[in-house]
């Protein structure tokens, strides 16, 4: 009988991470659901296929402990989904240095930390897939998310470059790019970081911009869009790198990659101009 494959997911306590973990469980995989504060009650599964562990992506020691326990429990790790991240809506000029660094420590360096830790294990096995979850903001940055977009753009470049190296040792690199999904509440995990970060004149623009986004140019992404994209990335035997997830990301990806720079920028500016001039 074929043994089930094993996936480790970071940031699995809520949102895309939780949905992704449950999806893999429902499909018969072994799942290592990692989060800062473990809670196995979040998932429906038989105990022999679910391992819920503490993992802080900013701590190499925490990552190492989680990988060691996961490998010991299931014999190996086939797929890693770097999903952990924090959102930020802010005017760049008033964003404190410590918040900027906090975002990068989790969204960018956290991804790198997990990759560095798991690559030797996958290299020794001669196979594995690493999926880095970024954002439509990594394709088409929007206003007031300059720090967040920068953290995700960095992961886009990192993953593409690393993919060529990893081909040498049998590891596939993937990028899943979720769109805007209101159901996940982008700012919920930002907490006090958001306070006072859109002062005048940015506050008026932010309100007009958010009102403008009620007439979003396409349908929003859903959790299902992202969950299905992650599973496709995990099981695709080909060499595809990017998996835009959700109709909005697909729209922005098409605009970015299949039209001229001038047309892309004109379309993006037109989307925000009513907010800029209101």
Top mean pLDDT of 141-145, 171-175, 211-215 is at 171-175
Please give the structure tokens belonging to residue 246.
């959700």
pLDDT for 209 beyond 70: yes
User: Between β-strands 128-133 and 79-82, what pairing exists: parallel, antiparallel or unpaired?
Assistant: parallel
In this prediction, residue 119 has a pLDDT band, given cuts at 50, 70 and 90, of very high
Using the predicted structure, report yes or no on whether residue 180 has a pLDDT greater than 90.
Answer: no
- In the chain, where the domains are located: 6-198+219-246
Asked whether the predicted pLDDT for residue 1 surpasses 80, the reply is no
pLDDT at 190 over 70: no
Neighbours of 100 (CB within 10 A): 17
Phi/psi for 269 (5° steps) reads -65, -35
Q: Residue 259: how many CB atoms within 10 A of its CB?
A: 13
Q: What is the pLDDT of residue 29?
A: 97
- Active-site residue, selected from the candidate residues 148, 202, 209, 243: 148
Looking at domain 6-198+219-246, what is its CATH homologous superfamily? NAD(P)-binding Rossmann-like Domain (3.40.50.720)
Catalytic annotation present for 209:
no
Q: Where are the beta strands (DSSP E) in the chain?
A: 6-9, 30-35, 50-54, 79-82, 128-133, 171-178, 242-245
Residue of 246, 203, 201, 207 lying closest to 223 (CA atoms): 246
Half-sphere exposure of 184 (CA within 13 A, CB side): 27
Q: What is the pTM of this model?
A: 0.92
């Amino acid at each position: 009988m074929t043994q089930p494959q094993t996936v480790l997911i970071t940031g699995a306590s809520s949102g895309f991470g939780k949905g992704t973990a449950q999806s893999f469980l429902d499909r018969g995989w072994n799942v290592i659901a990692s989060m800062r504060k473990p809670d196995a009650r979040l998932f429906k599964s038989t105990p022999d296929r679910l391992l819920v562990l503490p993992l802080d992506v900013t701590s190499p020691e925490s990552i190492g402990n989680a990988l060691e326990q996961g490998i010991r429990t299931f014999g190996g790790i086939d797929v890693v989904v770097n999903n952990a991240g924090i959102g930020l809506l802010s005017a760049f000029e008033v964003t404190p240095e410590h918040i900027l660094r906090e975002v990068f420590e989790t969204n960018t360096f956290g991804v790198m930390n997990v990759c560095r830790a798991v690559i030797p294990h996958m290299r020794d096995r001669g196979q594995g897939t690493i999926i880095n979850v970024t954002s439509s903001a990594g394709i088409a940055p929007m206003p007031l998310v300059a720090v967040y977009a920068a953290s995700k753009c960095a992961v886009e470049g990192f993953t593409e470059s690393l993919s060529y190296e990893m081909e040498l040792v049998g590891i596939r690199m993937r990028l899943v790019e979720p769109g805007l999904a209101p159901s996940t509440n982008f700012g919920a995990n930002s907490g006090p970081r958001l306070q006072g970060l859109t002062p005048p004149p940015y506050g008026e623009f932010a309100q007009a911009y958010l009102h403008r986004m009620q007439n979003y140019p396409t349908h929003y992404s859903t959790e299902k869009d992202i969950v299905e994209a992650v599973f496709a990335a995990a099981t695709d035997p080909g060499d595809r790198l990017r998996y835009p997830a959700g109709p909005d990301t697909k729209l922005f990806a098409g605009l970015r990659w299949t039209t001229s720079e001038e047309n892309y920028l004109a379309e993006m500016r037109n989307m925000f101009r009513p907010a800029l001039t209101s």
